[in-house]
């Protein structure tokens, strides 16, 4: 089930589909408000919901390493078979093998890079199994770490929740690196410790504005390809990154405060649309990106819930410090603004660490 992780509307609207309950969510495709998963998967919304899961199939196919000796067809079959078998075991299903044609036979003559064709040959039960595994994060575990898509963004890695786990203090403070993305930024400590106990409740909304700007910029400049290079990042590249972030985030560039998370996101989206050559799809996608960052990687450890927010802030802090040290005079921001951005990020780092659990 999709969780509400990054904003709460103060004025509730009625669900567009059942017209009975207050809406809690908004579809990222059609923007219609809905109250829960039943309405999201209702016939009146099937065009959006079915397209979402088809896209997920396409994304998972892209994760396969085409250079391996094992064929794409075989890898896809293994992933789908694992998902199906695991779900049947959990639900104690006793399915007759004669009821359905063998999955490998059904996908034998179709183009596995065509998500529509692949989705069409799956049975209703297989589609349900896939959705369940996708929503729980278990699907990611079915793909070996060495075959995962490192071209994607780091906050897309979502680990399944562990209901019961005995861990030591050291285990709780660390995340297994091999399960996460290679481009996950290293965590940085704030330059100065700040007491945020009596801080304004609007801090969380301002943080959303900053995370939105970070997510849009990260995809816009393909930052994952930049940081994955073996050579040092140039000063021009970090200047471009910070310029984009300050363009999108009014909180960082003009110290603007936001009363709600929705206002913070709308402000960022409006500013992002003004950036030349920025793909409009990234503006819409950034809303879901913020949700993924705030939600964290999962895995069951309390500290893990904060990992992605701290990583994003650490990355921004590192970039702001590099720009300030190698500042090139420009019309977008001053060297003083770089220092103010770095100090504000220190405040956010302290606030997140002292909150322990984000109040979203």
Nearest partner of 346 among 201, 187, 189, 186, judged by Cα: 189
- The pTM (predicted TM-score) of the whole model is 0.57
Query: How far apart (Å, rounded) are the C-alpha atoms in residues 133 and 125?
Result: 12
pLDDT of residue 75: 67
pLDDT of residue 6: 38
Q: SS3 for 232-277, per residue?
A: CCCHHHHHHHHHHHHHHCHHHHHCCCCCCHHHHHHHHHHHHCCCCC
Cα angle at 215 between 225 and 142, to 5 degrees? 65
Task: Give the H or E element holding residue 201.
Answer: none
Render pLDDT for 245-256 as a digit per residue (tens, 0 to 9): 999 999 999 999
pLDDT of residue 177: 45
Helix axes 280-295, 304-325, angle to 10 degrees: 120
pLDDT < 50 stretches in the chain: 1-12, 64-69, 90-100, 136-137, 141, 145-150, 163-178, 302-303, 359
Sequence-ordered list of residues with C-beta below 8 angstroms from that of 129, at least 6 positions apart, any chain: 83, 84, 86, 87, 88
Q: How many helices (H) and strands (E) does the chain have?
A: 16, 2
Annotated domain spans of the chain:
41-149, 178-355
Query: How far apart (Å, rounded) are the C-alpha atoms in residues 242 and 225?
Result: 17
The dihedrals phi and psi of 35, each to the nearest 5 degrees, come to -95, -25
Query: How far apart (Å, rounded) are the C-alpha atoms in residues 290 and 360?
Result: 12
Sequence-ordered list of residues with C-beta below 8 angstroms from that of 81, at least 6 positions apart, any chain: 103, 104
34, β-bridge pairs? 25
């Amino acid at each position: 089930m999709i969780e509400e992780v990054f904003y709460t509307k103060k004025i509730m609207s009625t669900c567009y589909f059942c017209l009975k309950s207050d809406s809690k969510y908004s579809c990222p495709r059609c923007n219609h408000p809905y109250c829960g998963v039943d309405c999201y998967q209702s016939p009146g919304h099937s065009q959006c919901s079915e397209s979402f899961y088809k896209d997920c199939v396409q994304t998972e196919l892209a994760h396969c390493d085409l250079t391996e000796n094992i064929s794409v067809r075989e890898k896809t079959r293994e992933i789908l078979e694992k998902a199906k078998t695991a779900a049947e075991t959990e639900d104690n299903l006793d399915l007759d093998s004669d009821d359905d044609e063998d999955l490998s036979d059904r996908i034998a003559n179709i183009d596995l890079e065509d998500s529509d064709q692949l989705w069409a040959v799956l049975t209703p039960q297989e589609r349900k199994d896939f959705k369940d595994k996708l929503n729980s994060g278990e699907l990611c575990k079915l793909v070996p770490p060495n075959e995962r898509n490192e071209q994607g963004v780091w906050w897309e890695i979502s680990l399944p929740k562990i209901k019961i786990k005995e861990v030591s203090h050291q285990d709780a403070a660390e995340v297994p690196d091999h399960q996460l993305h290679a481009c996950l930024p290293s965590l940085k400590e704030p330059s100065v410790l700040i007491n945020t106990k009596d801080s304004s409740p609007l801090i969380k909304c301002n943080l959303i504005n900053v995370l939105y700007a970070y997510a849009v910029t990260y995809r816009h400049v393909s930052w994952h390809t930049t940081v994955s290079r073996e050579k040092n990042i140039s000063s021009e590249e970090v200047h471009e990154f910070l310029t984009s972030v300050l363009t999108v985030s009014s909180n960082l560039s003009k110290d603007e405060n936001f009363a709600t998370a929705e206002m913070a996101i709308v402000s960022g989206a409006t500013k992002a649309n003004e950036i030349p050559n920025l793909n409009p799809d990234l503006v819409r996608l950034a809303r879901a990106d913020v949700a993924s960052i705030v939600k964290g990687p999962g895995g069951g450890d309390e500290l893990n819930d904060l990992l992605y927010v701290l990583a994003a802030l650490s990355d921004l802090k590192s970039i702001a410090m590099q720009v300030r040290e190698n500042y090139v005079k420009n019309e977008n921001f001053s060297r003083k603004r770089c220092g103010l951005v770095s100090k504000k990020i220190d405040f956010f780092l302290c606030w997140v660490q002292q909150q322990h659990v984000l109040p979203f």
